[in-house]
Structure 1
Amino acid sequence: RTAIYQEPREHSWVVRWTLQDELMNIYETLTGPEGPAYNPFWYRVWEGYIHSAYVQTVHYRYNTPLVTVPQSGQLAEVTLPYTQAYQYSRNEGWQLHYRLYYETNHWITDIIEGPDRQPWYELTSEVTDYLINYVPASHLRPIPPEELTPISPEVPFEEKRLEVSLGRQFLTAYEGDQVVYGAKISSGQGQKDVPVGTRTPKGEYHITSKSPSKHMGSLSASGAPGSYSLPGVPWTSFFIYETGAAFHGTFWHNNFGVTMSHGCINMRNEDAKWLFRWVSPTYEANIEDRSGWDVRGYGTQVLIID
């Protein structure tokens, strides 16, 4: 739950508490007079002000459905605040399943007629071919190959590196000695490093694999403490293979500049997408089969520092 305040500060009167996935109009973005310093941004909404930490800014953008889907699948992103996915079986018919959120990425593997007699996409998980969901086709935007092409591929492998400052909660991308990109991040919380705890460990690493769509957590959250299920996490670039620590887009919070994760490096979706395209190993935009849904190899250097 997130509070709507009478004024843009945390010690103001609470007008009410919001509900999960509640939609509201944002009329203005402003800097709160009392911060907090790491994330001072507030939104003016109908009843007052809400801090940006757990607010995802979204849009409604409907799309023209595809006529055919490549045998290798088609990557696509959700362009509505969320879309309700269903599963189907002959015995039980259409059953509610996941809720898929704005700017999450998913693999389209077929087009069918949905329960409303409109085109629906079959979405297949990259984890297993047996995890299939269906959503209205107009709710997803197919991602064209040009949005997946590498950034500055001419730069020699050894010239690219990423530095993540845990103290500053900031990522910097270098080509040689030149800074080419910077972004606020949220690293792992806690006092102990993964895998014992959830703090992101310091050290030198390399990108080991990349996937534009990744199901994180369990396939179905149990409700137990720490249990979560996040289908379609976008623009994932793993750097610690053993623990699954990765750079990736984030749709469940907007609180960058402070630790928030279970060990991964949370990023804004647009920042994670840039990084995905910039780091090696190179992801091939035009894939031949489902083995191309991810790419593995010895990739760009990653330095996690204080």
Structure 2
Amino acid sequence: MKTISRKEFIKTSSLAAGAILLANRYPNLNEEFPASDRLGRIAVGKVDIMLRPDYDSPSVGTYYEDTVVPWLREVIGPWPFRNNQRWVETEDGYIWGPNVQPVKNLLNLPIGAMPDGMEGIWVEVTVPWVNAILDNPPARSSWWRMQNSKNLPPRFYFSQILWVDQVKKGSDGNIWYRINERYGNPGDLFWAPAEAFRPISQAEVMPINPEAENKQIVVDVADSRQTLACFENGKEVYYCRISSGKIPNTTPLTAIGSDGFHIWRKLHSVQMSGGSNQAGWMIPGIGWVSFFYLEGIAIHSTFWHNNFGEPSSHGCINVAPEDAKWIFRWASPVTPYQEGDIVVSGKEGTPVKVVEY
């Protein structure tokens, strides 16, 4: 197989340049998705398809989890006592927006071998979902055991960030990547079709405005607001919606008079878990993670819901993938590309002020 040097890989993003929009069936993934520039994946067990964008509208059908549909447009319609009033129009009717993950269907040019001098590469899932094969059963993670209980194979979802540490050519001549989550993984290893994953170059994770002074993140967790803003010298430079802890007090507030918690650890990706063995949870491939409080509270990407603007998390600050990545690149400390992980102490990291206005 042809190899490329570590320098070539890091210096350029040519590995990702082969991404093309899929209009029909992609040969290695054994699944057909609608031919549309904009798609939506049903992120919950099932949703009603409504005749109108209104909770009181007649239902005209049902979509089940992981169904992928053309996302025609987003409209506003009533849903009492909810912050979110967003609905997605599909070819069959309207579905409530928070239950639909915005996705795309992009195929990538695989690498034939691991770049010289590199232990692995970071990749992003660029298709609605892709099935994988567990290389070392039985599954250790409760997430994968849950998938199995639904009679689903292991499956990775659009926007997840993962670590690939091996490349092989299958008997069918297609390239497969071995997915080995680098952080938080209890030991599960997977093989998946390489076309579903876009290699991430060093250039796209370079810091944003590293010379800017007095950076601060302000998160408003009030039920009616649910926002995050980034400031440089008191000037707002970024703003997005969030989802904080669904249960009261699971997202900690900053003490009065404090400049905020400080980001102490950042990771390209991590498998998160929490709760007890009986009632716990575990989610793999969470991208662009910035921990700011103790061991478990972070700002991070979210692929399992689209309910930004309402409390929905276990305590973390859930944001959309593109928002999480921007914040990750902008905030300190700077994360080494290959390691994808950094830990600092004291006030070295960007302060995060959590308020409830």
TMscore range, shorter length: 0.7 to 0.9
Is 1:84–2:137 an aligned residue pair? Answer: no
Identity of aligned residues (%): 35
Is the CA contact (8 Å cut-off) linking 1:35 and 1:41 kept in structure 2?
no
Distance in 1, matches of 2:302 and 2:187, equals: 25
Aligned match for 2:253, one of 202, 205, 224: 202
Name the structure 1 match of 2:351. 301
Name the structure 2 match of 1:283. 335
Is 1:31–2:72 an aligned residue pair? Answer: no
Map of 1:1-306 to 2, 5 A cutoff? Answer: 1-32=46-77, 38-70=83-115, 71-88=118-135, 98-114=154-170, 116-126=172-182, 127-128=184-185, 130-156=187-213, 159-167=214-222, 168-191=225-248, 193=249, 199-203=250-254, 204-217=260-273, 225=279, 227-242=280-295, 244-285=296-337, 287=338, 292-297=339-344, 298-306=348-356
Is the CA contact (8 Å cut-off) linking 2:136 and 2:189 kept in structure 1?
no
Give the counterpart letter for 1:267 in structure 2: V
Distance in 2, matches of 1:183 and 1:259, equals: 14
Q: CA deviation at 1:271?
A: 0.4
Distance in 2, matches of 1:60 and 1:111, equals: 22
Q: CA deviation at 1:69?
A: 1.7
Secondary structure of 1:56's counterpart equals strand
Q: CA deviation at 1:229?
A: 2.9
Show CA shifts across 1:213-244 (max 9, x none). Answer: 111227xx98x54x4332111111111123x1
Task: Give TM-score, length-normalised by structure 1.
Answer: 0.86
Distance in 2, matches of 1:132 and 1:256, equals: 31
Deviates further, 178-187 or 15-24: 15-24
Q: 1:90 to 1:44 in 2, by over 3 A?
A: closer
Distance in 2, matches of 1:120 and 1:165, equals: 43
Q: CA deviation at 1:115?
A: 5.7
Is the CA contact (8 Å cut-off) linking 1:69 and 1:108 kept in structure 2?
no
Is the CA contact (8 Å cut-off) linking 1:149 and 1:284 kept in structure 2?
no
Show CA shifts across 1:186-237 (max 9, x none). Answer: 000113x3xxxxx20101311011111111227xx98x54x43321111111
Is the CA contact (8 Å cut-off) linking 1:9 and 1:35 kept in structure 2?
no
Deviates further, 72-81 or 268-277: 72-81
Structure 2: stretches of 5+ with no match in the other structure? 1-45, 139-147, 255-259
Task: Give TM-score, length-normalised by structure 2.
Answer: 0.75
Is the CA contact (8 Å cut-off) linking 1:29 and 1:42 kept in structure 2?
yes
Is the CA contact (8 Å cut-off) linking 2:112 and 2:168 kept in structure 1?
no
Would you say how many aligned residue pairs link Structure 1 and Structure 2?
A: 285
Give the counterpart letter for 2:217 in structure 1: L
Give the counterpart letter for 1:23 in structure 2: V
Q: CA deviation at 1:33?
A: 5.4
Q: CA RMSD in A?
A: 2.3
Structure 1: stretches of 5+ with no match in the other structure? 194-198
Q: CA deviation at 1:166?
A: 1.0
Deviates further, 29-38 or 65-74: 29-38
Q: CA deviation at 1:97?
A: 5.2
Distance in 1, matches of 2:186 and 2:269, equals: 14
Distance in 2, matches of 1:46 and 1:29, equals: 13
Name the structure 1 match of 2:15. none
Show CA shifts across 1:113-152 (max 9, x none). Answer: 2364411001111235843211101110001111100001
Distance in 2, matches of 1:114 and 1:229, equals: 30
Q: 1:89 to 1:170 in 2, by over 3 A?
A: closer
Is the CA contact (8 Å cut-off) linking 2:242 and 2:310 kept in structure 1?
yes
